Amino acid sequence: MYGDRADEGLLEKIARVGRAIPGFLCNLPVRVVLRRALGALYALGRSVKSILTMEALSDVLLEHKLPHTVWLLGVRYTLAPPPMGQRGEGRETEQTVVDESQNFKLDMWSRLWFSYRYNFHPISGTELTTDTGWGCMIRSGQMLIGQALVHHHLGRDWRLSHTSKYNELPSDYRKVLEMFLDHPCAPLSIHSFVRAGQQVGKKAGTWFGPNTVCSAFSKLHAGGALGSDNNLQLLAYDGNDGDNTIYKSEALELLQAGPLFILLPTRLGVSSVDPSYIPKISHVFSFPQSLGFIGGKPSSAHYFIASQGEAVYYLDPHTPQPLINISEKESV
């Protein structure tokens, strides 16, 4: 969750529901109706052709015959089906609902998508040159943290152009991207998360749970990973004591020093998500401060960013891709 002012009403709402709200790091995935990975990766100055394209998103939208509402990280979109003639049904119907599908797709396109990588520098003390099979929760956490930083520096309304060249992007955006490079020196790289995880007893090459990702980022944040000129405050719960209630007084005190980033690990059921939580999970995406949440089980974690009723949209980190060469300054 991201807050740039003391929104007492929102904090009271969160404090009331306590652990029933899925927070922003989640042990188990919610019930997913639209089982597709959506989004696009802006690849630090080089062209990227991915199996995850906006065509897949268009296919999802065409499946609906009635207008429907989607909440994407606090922004509401009304998505209307095309006239029947455009769906190949042979006749036109009057389109009476304003269709925001293109705006929705551009918003999706503008989200950061991080995935498995290979051929990076070996993680210290190991021969690991890929995180395939064990790094999906870390990648999901990187996406959530990256979204928080983009929101913090550029605002929620900023959008990525399909034709932008790397050196034409805002400098703040480039700085955020470079924090996540898969290099030992990058402050939020896979290497940095593994080092921080080792401090809490997690071995390199093993799957991180949400609590470990949260604890690792807390250590990186405390160590100055965001830079001395970044005033983003962090309120992170490790989830180990079972009490993840957000106390309004604590949050409001931190907000006096700058915008606040809240991470709240929680478990939404024993072996599966309790159905009573699903409406609450969906409602989280309508909060203007929402950054979505990450969740999963070993070797299966995702970043959930939007809801449509009881269905959710997510970004999938399970596509192995080669290391990005930052020296290549091409267009997306």
CA–CA distances in Å: residue 103 to residues 17, 67, 79, 322:
32, 15, 10, 30
Q: Which residues pair with 76 in a beta bridge?
A: 71
CA–CA distances in Å: residue 208 to residues 121, 199, 205:
20, 13, 9
Is 182 catalytic? The answer is no
Is 136 catalytic? The answer is yes
Q: Measured between alpha carbons, how far is 82 from 298 in angstroms, rounded to an integer?
A: 40
Is 316 catalytic? The answer is yes
CA angle 72, 264, 286 (to 5 degrees): 20
Catalytic residue, candidates 107, 131, 182, 316: 316
Catalytic residue, candidates 136, 182, 191, 302: 136
Q: Measured between alpha carbons, how far is 63 from 57 in angstroms, rounded to an integer?
A: 10
Secondary structure tally for the chain: helices H, strands E: 9, 12
Catalytic residue, candidates 121, 153, 283, 318: 318
Report the catalytic residues.
Answer: 136, 316, 318
